[in-house]
């Protein structure tokens, strides 16, 4: 049974689970934002924002030896996600694959691994991001399996956040977070909402760049072992990828709408293979200079 739409997000693509948040409402371009605050505020923001500040802040917040990797098994509870042609539930495949990946990552002793869920429970999309931020994640990976109309199509793919997050959203987030915490090492309470918005936008851009690095590692490693979709790296406005200060990606392990791939995705051996590609991708990501 497909989950009622109100449980899963605003719009849906692919597997009916995909959490796409509209970015078209209230969009205010960065140029317009700069007009609001004027040249003085913009200059102040640039003066405050020093190149590398985010990287230093990220270093300061992270443990010196172990990085925190947040893995997010898609769906759960009343939300089964996509359902395969012979009845496989996406929520079960994502959880078991993530558990395997977590074991592999923990075995390296390089990482602290946090799962957004460990059981068959429903967790709202925003809560998944909140859990990642509460854990002070250095990396966030949401794991899904797709279902599409063309049953001949199969293959894995990776998503990063679309660049089109609006300044209005950033300002609203800054407003909320002003009360609580730092974002990306920036003490938002010290700045006007307008300047905070610009600083947050800069942090978000750097996070997006790191997310793209992560996505490319995933595509490269998945491509070594499993079939990829032709268009293997795309971007969209997924709610779960909206943490402004945690590099994030969403991986579609394959297509449950394809009979052969559904069969594979059910297999523990295939899930282990996928989990191993996640391990290698995470290792590659943190090994790459500039990603930490």
For Zn ion, which stretch binds (CB under 5 A), given 59-67, 78-86, 173-181, 226-234? 78-86
Regarding beta strands 67-73 and 139-146, do their DSSP bridges make them parallel or antiparallel, or are they unpaired? Answer: parallel
Closest distance between Zn ion and the C-beta of residue 82, in Å?
A: 6
The residue among 17 and 41 lying less far from Zn ion, judged by its C-beta, is 17
The residue among 74 and 237 lying less far from Zn ion, judged by its C-beta, is 74
The residue among 96 and 192 lying less far from Zn ion, judged by its C-beta, is 96
Closest distance between Zn ion and the C-beta of residue 73, in Å?
A: 10
The residue among 144 and 242 lying less far from Zn ion, judged by its C-beta, is 144
3-state helix/strand/coil string of the chain: CCCCHHHCCCECCCCCCCCECCCCCCCCCHHHHHHHHHHHHHHHHHHHCCCCHHHHHHHHHCCCCCEEEEEEECCECCECCCECCCCCEHHHHHHHHHHHHHHHHHHCCCEEEEECCCCCCCCCHHHHHHHHHHCCCCEEEEEEEECCCCCCCCCEEEEEECCCCCHHHHHHHHHHHCCCCCECCECHHHCCHHHHHHHHHHHHHHHHHHHHHHHHHHHHHHHHHCCEEEEEEEEECEHHHCCCCCCEEEEEEEECCCHHHHHHHHCHHHHHHHHHHHHHHHHHHHHCCCCC
The residue among 80 and 137 lying less far from Zn ion, judged by its C-beta, is 80
For Zn ion, which stretch binds (CB under 5 A), given 37-45, 138-146, 243-251, 266-274? 138-146
Closest distance between Zn ion and the C-beta of residue 182, in Å?
A: 31
For Zn ion, which stretch binds (CB under 5 A), given 45-53, 75-83, 228-236, 238-246? 75-83
Can you tell me which of 128, 144, 216, 242 binds Zn ion, judged by CB under 5 A? 144
The pattern of x and - marking residues 12 through 51 that bind Zn ion according to CB under 5 A reads ---x-x----------------------------------
* Number of residues engaging Zn ion in binding (CB under 5 A): 5
Can you tell me which of 81, 84, 244, 254 binds Zn ion, judged by CB under 5 A? 81
The pattern of x and - marking residues 183 through 222 that bind Zn ion according to CB under 5 A reads ----------------------------------------
Closest distance between Zn ion and the C-beta of residue 15, in Å?
A: 5
Closest distance between Zn ion and the C-beta of residue 81, in Å?
A: 4
Regarding beta strands 111-115 and 228-236, do their DSSP bridges make them parallel or antiparallel, or are they unpaired? Answer: unpaired
The residue among 183 and 251 lying less far from Zn ion, judged by its C-beta, is 251
Q: Is the dihedral of CA 182, 183, 187, 190 positive or negative?
A: negative
Can you tell me which of 9, 74, 247, 254 binds Zn ion, judged by CB under 5 A? 74
The residue among 77 and 185 lying less far from Zn ion, judged by its C-beta, is 77
> Could you tell me if 218 and 281 are in contact, meaning their C-beta atoms sit under 8 angstroms apart?
yes
Q: At 272, list the tokens.
A: 């282990």
> Could you tell me if 157 and 267 are in contact, meaning their C-beta atoms sit under 8 angstroms apart?
no
The residue among 82 and 291 lying less far from Zn ion, judged by its C-beta, is 82
Interface contacts to Zn ion, rule CB under 5 A: 15, 17, 74, 81, 144
């Amino acid at each position: 049974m497909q989950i009622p739409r109100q449980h899963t997000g605003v719009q849906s693509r692919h597997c009916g689970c995909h959490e796409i948040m509209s970015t078209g409402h209230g969009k205010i371009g960065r140029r317009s934002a700069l007009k609001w605050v004027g040249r003085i505020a913009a200059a102040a923001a640039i003066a405050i924002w020093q190149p590398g500040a985010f990287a230093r802040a990220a270093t300061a917040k992270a443990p010196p030896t172990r990085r925190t990797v947040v893995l997010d098994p898609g769906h759960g509870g009343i939300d089964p996600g996509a359902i395969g042609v012979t009845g496989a539930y996406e929520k079960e495949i994502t959880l078991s694959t993530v558990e395997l990946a977590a074991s592999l990552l923990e075995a390296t002793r390089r990482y602290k691994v946090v799962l957004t869920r460990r059981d068959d429970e429903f967790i709202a999309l925003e809560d998944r991001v909140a859990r990642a931020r509460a854990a002070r994640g250095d990396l966030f990976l949401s794991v899904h399996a797709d279902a599409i109309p063309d049953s001949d199509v199969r293959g894995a793919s990776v998503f990063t956040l679309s660049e089109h997050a609006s300044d209005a959203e950033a300002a609203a987030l800054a407003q909320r977070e002003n009360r609580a915490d730092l974002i990306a090492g920036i003490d938002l309470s010290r700045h006007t909402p307008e300047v905070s918005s610009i600083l947050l936008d800069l942090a978000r851009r750097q996070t997006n760049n790191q997310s793209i690095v992560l996505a490319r590692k995933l595509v490269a490693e998945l491509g070594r072992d499993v079939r990829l979709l032709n268009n293997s790296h795309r971007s969209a406005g997924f709610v779960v990828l909206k943490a402004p200060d945690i590099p994030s990606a969403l991986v579609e392990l394959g297509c449950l709408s394809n009979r052969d791939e559904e069969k594979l995705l059910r297999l523990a051996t295939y899930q282990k293979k996928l989990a191993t590609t996640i391990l290698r991708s995470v290792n590659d990501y943190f090994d790459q200079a500039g990603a930490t």
